């Protein structure tokens, strides 16, 4: 059975529509990876500060005399009894919670640093820390880099795009 001209046209139209939709989805996911990379870069200084704070808190808790702490009062709603856990268990619980946060933030910082290392040798690499870590204004970056706004914008976009591929792989394409 042969297809009519009208059927062939309908099939071609459907293929074109699906193709357009796929391209649109691809553009959105690329944009999403780029935006996510920018969010991660902006969070990088705060994550590094968190790591230092968590490490200090863990060290403090390890040496804290929790027997005299008024902060550790636990109530059980089903009874008037005191908790069965001892102070060392409470200490370990607090340390475990902070260790999990430390692990998560450290992993994120490590991933960002891998992406930063990938573009570190680029001529305009310094744009990344100036924009995302130091919060410098466009004018200050122009003066510092001795180039115009367009050059900064174009190179920032290229660098963040490369970093997106490191962070998200083929999903960033």
Which of 110, 144, 164 is the last residue before a domain boundary? 110
- Number of domains making up the chain: 2
Q: Supply the DSSP string of 16-56, one letter for each residue.
A: HHHHHHHHHHHHHHHHHHHHHHHHHHHHHHHHHHHHHHHHH
Which of 110, 142, 162 is the last residue before a domain boundary? 110
The answer to whether residues 142 and 171 belong to one domain is yes
**Domain-located, residue 7:** no
**Domain-located, residue 17:** no
What digits encode the pLDDT tens for the residues 69-95? Answer: 445 555 555 556 555 667 888 888 899
Say how many C-beta atoms besides its own lie within 10 A of residue 170's C-beta.
8
Would you say the pTM of this structure is higher than 0.75?
no
What is the structure's pLDDT at 5? 85
153 band by pLDDT with thresholds 50, 70 and 90: very high
Question: What's the whole-number mean pLDDT along residues 25-45?
Answer: 82
The answer to whether residues 92 and 135 belong to one domain is no
Residues spanned by the domain of 134: 120-173
The answer to whether residues 137 and 156 belong to one domain is yes
Please tell me the number of Cα atoms within 13 Å of 71 on its side-chain side.
8
């Amino acid at each position: 059975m042969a297809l009519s001209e009208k059927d062939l046209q309908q099939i071609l139209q459907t293929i074109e529509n699906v193709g357009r939709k796929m391209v649109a989805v691809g553009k959105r996911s690329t944009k999403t990876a780029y935006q996510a990379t920018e969010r991660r870069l902006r969070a990088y200084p705060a994550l590094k500060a968190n790591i230092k704070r968590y490490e200090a808190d863990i060290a403090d808790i390890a040496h804290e005399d929790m027997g005299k702490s008024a902060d550790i009062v636990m109530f059980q709603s089903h009874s008037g009894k005191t908790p069965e856990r001892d102070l060392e268990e409470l200490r370990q619980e607090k340390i475990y919670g902070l260790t999990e946060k430390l692990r998560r933030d450290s992993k994120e910082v490590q991933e960002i640093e891998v992406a930063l290392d990938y573009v570190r040798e680029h001529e305009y690499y310094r744009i990344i820390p100036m924009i995302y870590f130091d919060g410098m204004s466009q004018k200050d970056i122009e003066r510092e880099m001795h180039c115009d706004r367009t050059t900064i914008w174009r190179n920032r976009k290229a660098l963040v795009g490369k970093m997106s591929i490191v962070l998200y792989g083929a999903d960033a394409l």
